[in-house]
């Protein structure tokens, strides 16, 4: 029994433990500790080499096995970390389903990450899809609708994946990961597999146009569930896409499938899907008035950066894409924690009904500040490093327009996270929130720990780049040349290394100068919030001087017509088509002599088949 | 533009106090005053017709910004409060509110005759005649209305006063708050109040004197309502007390 067996058994044990003991506070504390134990076990596995589990079974003469490599290790660490912080954050949540769902998700994700062949990949994929439902139904009525939508999408995606796997089996006669690489297929077969597998997996990843389910399903549920789902759940789709690119259709093959002859390849198509997945959801996030939905839409947008980085498939780009999984998970987790602590204390996350909470919830404010700096990709937080790597790779590959698209996406991110913080924490404190207290310790402590992680991996990205380098060598890429402060450019023709320690030193010396100026100006004086200037008007709380509704009205006026071309019409068309088919089939079944008609149809089909 | 001679006060002038103490701190103080005089943010409370002379003074013809003066949108960041015409009783309340919200050191400039003595509105029941009854004024620029040249010249005088450390009339508001408050109460009634805690601020700036408090501040304390946020409602707010 090796460390991987122990990890999977502990994870399964955690599920059983949560079923029995999650009703009591002590039980939930132990549950949180169990995720930490799993992380400790994970560190016993050597990330540099492949470890095969001793569990395995045979089906139709095919040996199914579980194994772990650097890529699985990287994703497993993020999964367990998210689960640990989410469970800690949810110590006071009494819903049993939350804790069972969380542990079930972790277990199924670990199984998916250690899948050793296509069949176990599919089984684990379905496990992950269905255990996600456990976490999505925890909200009110609206979360049920979102969950139903998710189930519809997930079944469609799962069926596409299943079809792809069946095709692999029928074409190669094997379900092992090396089936396709050992039996090369024709280009059209590769194209079919790419559409089915990447399309099916990108439903979970919420790439365009399969993204409409995600925001509501992830946001409108219980807090810790949102933290976990938002941080890592969708990235399982990314993991599966990487597996597909590694074992089925590599990027060279994708680059040789032309959608428009001599002009536009399948890889270009995927790059543009990723670029649009950055822009459109980010600007949809800009319109949201619910803080949770705003964050969840960003989750879709940030997925585009990861996808873009991986599609570059060079040293820097793939490192940026993978590192962004880690960085984004930490930032999204802390942001969801901050927003749900607002919800916990004030009962609303409507950005038009909040404001000025920094005076009441300073720690949550600090958490959100760190999170939005990271999410927007600004130094000194970790989001900067991964976005820098992706930009760097796009520029050195000469993809100027895609680079521009990703910068536009970042602009939208900065605008909307500013809206998030301005409308919730800054500005005018509402009377209803005059007596609001800081979130309880069980919520603030994980937030602060995550803030420290975000800052440390921002200043010293070498820590997380080590994991990324392991993952890169596991998928057959040259690992990125990293040191503690950042990366060294391998291509000497294009200069430009990154050393975050210097960046942060320069940044903080700027802060230092500002601090000296501030301190040398004598003592400051606090004034009441309503002792404020409004063109000489005498203010009281009846005068709302916080501008939160219809934020960015000018920008919205310009970009509003663009929203008409969103993908809602696509979803609507599919739904209408299914409705129409349902009407026809119902009228068919409602006939008096339905059985005779069915017999006629079946006989005709059989006759045609025989002839 | 023709330079107007600016009266420069020298150390021989009896109105300038002899400096004493550490020479380094004197140099530092002079440096700070020089810097202050060359970077003035101006909040113009454009009350009357004098405001029409400000756009030419600010824009390319006379270009105030070459002197380091430019407009600012809030009193918290502003150094100069510019009153450009008659102040009606209702406006004066806003002017005082704004003035009290400014951070020290702060300077008030009254432009037009109306701020000096009421000007052509002398007989009006609704205007305050002398601005310096209600707040200390550093400089008046008389005229109906003063030309941009006059405005610039006045601002240069203020700069010179700041540079030699003479523009200290803002301290008078803290030192003799009771006097100014009395005048304000005579005009606005005894329930008059602003949100700013002037007595607390005078202690903050170490300018608290026996004249800071008196019968008028005691009257203020009787009527003072603390700043409390009221319940916020969407839609039209209920009619608040007419000020």
Q: What is the pLDDT of residues B146-176, one digit of tens each?
A: 999 999 999 999 999 999 888 889 999 999 9
Architecture of the domain whose range is B29-166: 3-Layer(aba) Sandwich (3.40)
Closest CA to A459 of A507, A417, A411: A507
d(CA B83, CA B111): 6
CB atoms within 10 A of CB A606: 10
Is A316 a residue whose pLDDT tops 60?
A: yes
d(CA A177, CA A122): 12
Of A434, A531, A543, the CB nearest to B195: A531
Closest Cα in chain B, distance from residue A344 (Å): 21
Q: B77: which residues sit within 8 A by CB, 6+ positions away?
A: B41, B103
CB contact under 8 A, B243 and A541: no
Residue B95 vs residues A261, A535, B73, B135: alpha-carbon distances, Å: 73, 10, 14, 9
Parallel/antiparallel/unpaired status of strands B80-83 and B107-111: parallel
Closest Cα in chain A, distance from residue B239 (Å): 10
d(CA B227, CA A531): 8
3-state secondary structure string across A295-314: HHHHHHHHHHHHHHHHHHCC
Percent of chain A surpassing pLDDT 90:
33
Residue A14 vs residues A28, A67, A134, A572: alpha-carbon distances, Å: 11, 20, 16, 41
Q: Give residue limits of the domains in chain B.
A: 29-166, 168-225
Q: A578: which residues sit within 8 A by CB, 6+ positions away?
A: none
- What's the pLDDT score for residue B243? 45
CB contact under 8 A, A525 and B201: yes
Of B45, B74, B230, the CB nearest to A540: B230
- Asked if A517 has any chain B CB less than 8 Å from its own CB, the reply is no
- Asked if B26 has any chain A CB less than 8 Å from its own CB, the reply is no
Closest CA to B140 of B128, B162, B155, B126: B155
Is B235 a residue whose pLDDT tops 50?
A: no
- What's the pLDDT score for residue A225? 92
- What's the pLDDT score for residue A181? 82
Q: Which of A443-452, A454-463, A572-581 is least confident?
A: A572-581
Closest Cα in chain A, distance from residue B196 (Å): 7
Query: What is the pLDDT confidence band of residue B138, given thresholds at 50, 70 and 90?
Result: very high
In chain A, how many H helices and how many E strands?
Answer: 24, 7
Angle at alpha carbon of residue A580, lines to A577 and A582, rounded to 5°: 110
* DSSP assignment of A318-332: HHHHHHHHHHHHHHH
Parallel/antiparallel/unpaired status of strands A498-499 and B69-71: unpaired
Contact A299, A376 (CB under 8 A): no
3-state secondary structure string across chain B: CCCCCCCCCCCCCCCCCCCCCCHHHHHHHHHHHHHHHCCEEEEEECCCHHHHHHHHHHCCCCCHHHHCEEECCCHHHCCEEEECCCEEHHHHHHHHHHHHHCCCCCEEEEECHHHHHCHHHCCCCCEECCHHHCCCCCEEECCCCCCHHHHHHHHHHHHHHHHCCCCCHHHHHHHCHHHHHHHHHHHHCCCCCCCCCHHHHHHHCCCCCCCCCCHHHHHHHHHCCCCCCCCCCCCCCCCCCCC
Angle at alpha carbon of residue B46, lines to B41 and B51, rounded to 5°: 95
- Asked if B81 has any chain A CB less than 8 Å from its own CB, the reply is no
Return mean pLDDT, chain A: 87
Percent of chain A surpassing pLDDT 70:
97
- What's the pLDDT score for residue A553? 85
Closest Cα in chain A, distance from residue B232 (Å): 5
Closest CA to A529 of A360, A393, A323: A360
d(CA A474, CA A70): 5
- Model confidence pLDDT, tens digit, residues A212-224: 888 889 998 888 9
- Asked if A520 has any chain B CB less than 8 Å from its own CB, the reply is no
- What's the pLDDT score for residue A112? 92
Closest CA to A78 of A315, A277, A239: A239
Residues of A in Cβ contact (< 8 Å) with B229: 429-431, 434, 529-530, 540-541
CB contact under 8 A, A541 and B230: yes
Query: What is the pLDDT confidence band of residue A377, given thresholds at 50, 70 and 90?
Result: confident
> ipTM strictly over 0.90?
no
> Within its chain, how far is the Cα of A93 from the centroid?
23
Closest CA to A208 of A414, A419, A405: A405
Of A525, A532, A542, the CB nearest to B232: A542
Query: What is the pLDDT confidence band of residue A494, given thresholds at 50, 70 and 90?
Result: low
- What's the pLDDT score for residue A578? 85
d(CA B57, CA B147): 9
Closest CA to A224 of A71, A103, A116, A400: A103
d(CA B207, CA B196): 16
Of A432, A531, A542, the CB nearest to B101: A531
- What's the pLDDT score for residue B11? 47
Contact B112, B48 (CB under 8 A): yes
Contact A403, A394 (CB under 8 A): yes
- Asked if B29 has any chain A CB less than 8 Å from its own CB, the reply is no
* DSSP assignment of A545-570: ----TTTTHHHHHHHGGGGGGSTHHH
Query: What is the pLDDT confidence band of residue B3, given thresholds at 50, 70 and 90?
Result: low
CB contact under 8 A, B94 and A544: no
Contact A358, A311 (CB under 8 A): no
Of B75, B231, B237, the CB nearest to A543: B237
d(CA A567, CA A547): 30
Query: What is the pLDDT confidence band of residue B233, given thresholds at 50, 70 and 90?
Result: very low
CA closest to A520 among chain B residues: B32
d(CA A501, CA A461): 9
d(CA B93, CA B193): 9
Summarize the confidence of residues B111-134 as an average pLDDT.
89
- Model confidence pLDDT, tens digit, residues A81-103: 999 999 999 988 888 889 999 99
pTM (2 decimals)? 0.84
d(CA A451, CA B225): 42
A115 phi/psi in degrees, rounded to 5 = -60, 135
CB contact under 8 A, A540 and B101: no
Structure tokens at A306: 């990861």
Parallel/antiparallel/unpaired status of strands A498-499 and B40-45: unpaired
Is A194 a residue whose pLDDT tops 50?
A: yes
CB contact under 8 A, B97 and A540: no
Closest CA to B121 of B153, B74, B87: B87
Contact A342, A309 (CB under 8 A): no
d(CA A395, CA A314): 12
**Facing residues of B88 across strands?**
B127
Residues of B in Cβ contact (< 8 Å) with A536: 45, 94-95, 97-98
- Asked if B98 has any chain A CB less than 8 Å from its own CB, the reply is yes
Contact A330, A446 (CB under 8 A): no
Query: What is the pLDDT confidence band of residue B9, given thresholds at 50, 70 and 90?
Result: very low
Contact A201, A121 (CB under 8 A): no
B83 phi/psi in degrees, rounded to 5 = -105, 120
Return mean pLDDT, chain B: 83
Closest CA to B64 of B38, B34, B46, B102: B38
Q: Which of A56-60, A311-315, A393-397, A452-456 is least confident?
A: A56-60
d(CA B159, CA A559): 47
Closest CA to A316 of A245, A231, A278, A308: A308
Q: A46: which residues sit within 8 A by CB, 6+ positions away?
A: none
**Facing residues of B110 across strands?**
B83, B140
Residues of B in Cβ contact (< 8 Å) with A352: none
- What's the pLDDT score for residue B240? 45
Q: Which of A64-68, B3-7, B205-209 is least confident?
A: B3-7
d(CA A597, CA A602): 9
d(CA B184, CA B196): 15
The 10 Å CB-count burial string (b at 16+, else e) for B135-172 is bbbbbbbbbebbebebbbbbbbbbbbbbbbbbbebbbb
Summarize the confidence of residues A327-355 as an average pLDDT.
91
Give, rounded to a whole angstrom, the gap between the first and last alpha carbons of chain A.
Answer: 57
Q: Give residue limits of the domains in chain A.
A: 268-478+528-566, 570-610
- Asked if B76 has any chain A CB less than 8 Å from its own CB, the reply is yes
d(CA B158, CA B217): 31
Of B75, B93, B231, the CB nearest to A431: B231
Query: What is the pLDDT confidence band of residue A493, given thresholds at 50, 70 and 90?
Result: low
Of B196, B228, B233, the CB nearest to A531: B196
Is A408 a residue whose pLDDT tops 80?
A: yes
- Model confidence pLDDT, tens digit, residues A496-544: 788 888 989 999 999 999 999 888 877 777 777 778 887 777 777 666 7
Q: Which pairs count as long-range contacts for A523-529, CB under 8 Å and 24+ apart, including other chains?
A: A523/B204, A525/B201, A525/B204, A527/B196, A528/B195, A528/B227, A529/A356, A529/A359, A529/A428, A529/A429, A529/B229
- What's the pLDDT score for residue B242? 44
């Amino acid at each position: 029994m090796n460390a991987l067996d122990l990890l999977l058994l502990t994870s399964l044990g955690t599920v059983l433990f949560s079923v029995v003991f999650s009703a009591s506070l002590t039980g939930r504390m132990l549950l949180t500790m169990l995720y930490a134990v799993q992380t400790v076990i994970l560190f016993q596995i050597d990330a540099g080499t492949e470890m095969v589990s001793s569990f395995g079974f045979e089906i139709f003469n095919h040996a199914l096995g579980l194994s772990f490599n650097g890529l699985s290790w990287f994703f497993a660490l993020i999964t367990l970390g998210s689960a640990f912080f989410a469970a800690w954050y949810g110590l006071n949540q009494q819903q049993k389903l939350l804790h069972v769902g969380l542990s079930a998700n972790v277990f199924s994700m670990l199984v998916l990450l250690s899948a050793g062949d296509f069949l176990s990949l599919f089984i684990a994929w379905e496990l992950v899809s269905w255990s996600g439902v456990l976490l999505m139904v925890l909200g009110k009525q609206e979360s049920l609708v979102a969950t139903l939508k998710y189930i519809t999408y997930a079944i469609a995606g799962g069926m596409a994946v299943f079809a792809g796997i069946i095709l692999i089996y029928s074409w190669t006669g094997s379900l092992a990961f090396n089936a396709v690489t050992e039996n090369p297929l024709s280009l059209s077969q590769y194209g079919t597999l790419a559409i089915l597998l990447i399309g099916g997996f990108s439903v979970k990843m919420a790439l365009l146009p399969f993204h409409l389910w995600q925001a509501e399903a992830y946001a409108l549920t219980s807090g810790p569930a949102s933290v976990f789902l938002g941080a890592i759940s969708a990235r399982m789709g990314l993991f599966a896409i990487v597996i597909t690119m590694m074992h089925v259709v590599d990027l060279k093959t994708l680059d040789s499938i032309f959608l428009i002859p001599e002009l536009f390849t399948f890889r270009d198509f995927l790059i543009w899907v990723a670029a649009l997945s950055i822009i459109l959801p980010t600007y949809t996030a800009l319109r949201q008035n619910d803080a949770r939905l705003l964050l969840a839409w960003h989750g879709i947008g940030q997925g585009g950066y990861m996808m873009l980085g991986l599609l570059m498939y060079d040293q820097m780009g793939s490192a940026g894409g993978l590192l962004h999984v880690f960085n984004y998970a930490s930032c999204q987790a802390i942001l969801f924690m901050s927003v749900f602590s607002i919800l916990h204390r004030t009962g609303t996350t409507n950005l038009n009904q909040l404001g000025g909470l920094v005076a009441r919830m300073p720690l949550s404010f600090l958490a959100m500040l760190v999170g939005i700096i990271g999410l927007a990709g600004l130094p000194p937080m970790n989001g900067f490093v991964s976005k820098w790597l992706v930009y760097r790779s796009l520029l050195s590959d000469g993809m100027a327009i895609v680079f521009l698209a990703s910068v536009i996406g970042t602009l939208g991110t900065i605008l909307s996270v500013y809206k998030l913080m301005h409308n919730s924490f800054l500005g005018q404190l509402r009377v209803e929130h005059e007596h609001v207290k800081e979130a309880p310790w069980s919520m603030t402590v994980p937030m602060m720990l995550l803030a420290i992680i975000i800052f440390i991996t921002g200043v010293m990205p070498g820590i997380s780049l080590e994991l990324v380098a392991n993952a890169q060598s596991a998928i057959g890429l040259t690992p990125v040349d990293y040191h503690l402060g950042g990366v060294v450019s391998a291509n000497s023709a294009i200069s430009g290394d990154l050393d975050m320690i210097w960046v942060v030193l320069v940044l903080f010396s700027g802060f230092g100068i500002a601090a000296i100026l501030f301190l040398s100006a004598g003592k400051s004086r606090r004034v009441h919030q309503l002792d404020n200037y409004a063109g000489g008007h005498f203010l009281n709380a009846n005068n709302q001087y916080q501008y939160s509704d219809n934020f960015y009205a000018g920008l919205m006026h310009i970009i509003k017509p663009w929203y008409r071309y969103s993908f809602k019409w696509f979803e609507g068309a599919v739904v209408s088509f299914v409705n129409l088919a349902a009407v026809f089939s119902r009228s068919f079944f409602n006939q008096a002599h339905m059985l005779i008609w069915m017999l006629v149809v079946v006989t005709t089909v059989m006759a045609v088949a025989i002839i | 533009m023709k330079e107007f001679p600016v009266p420069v006060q020298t150390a021989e002038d009896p109105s300038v106090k002899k400096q004493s103490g550490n020479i380094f701190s004197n140099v530092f103080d002079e440096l700070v005053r020089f810097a202050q005089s060359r970077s003035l943010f101006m909040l113009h409370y454009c009350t009357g017709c004098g405001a029409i002379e400000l756009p030419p003074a600010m824009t390319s013809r006379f270009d105030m910004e070459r002197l380091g003066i430019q407009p600012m949108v809030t009193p918290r960041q502003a150094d100069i409060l510019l009153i450009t015409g008659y102040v009606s009783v209702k406006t004066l309340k806003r002017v005082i509110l704004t003035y009290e919200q400014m951070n020290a050191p702060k300077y008030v400039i009254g432009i037009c005759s109306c701020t000096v003595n009421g000007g052509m509105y002398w007989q009006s029941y609704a205007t305050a005649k002398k601005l310096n009854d209600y707040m200390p004024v550093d400089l008046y620029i008389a005229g109906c209305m003063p030309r941009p040249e006059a405005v610039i010249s006045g601002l240069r005088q203020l700069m010179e006063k700041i540079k030699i450390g003479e523009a200290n009339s803002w301290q008078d508001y803290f030192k003799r708050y009771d006097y100014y408050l009395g005048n304000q109460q005579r005009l606005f009634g005894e329930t008059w109040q602003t949100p700013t805690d002037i007595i607390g601020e005078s202690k903050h700036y170490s300018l608290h004197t026996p004249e800071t408090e008196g019968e008028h501040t005691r009257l203020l304390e009787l009527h003072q309502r603390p700043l409390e946020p009221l319940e916020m409602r969407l839609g039209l707010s209920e009619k608040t007390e007419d000020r």
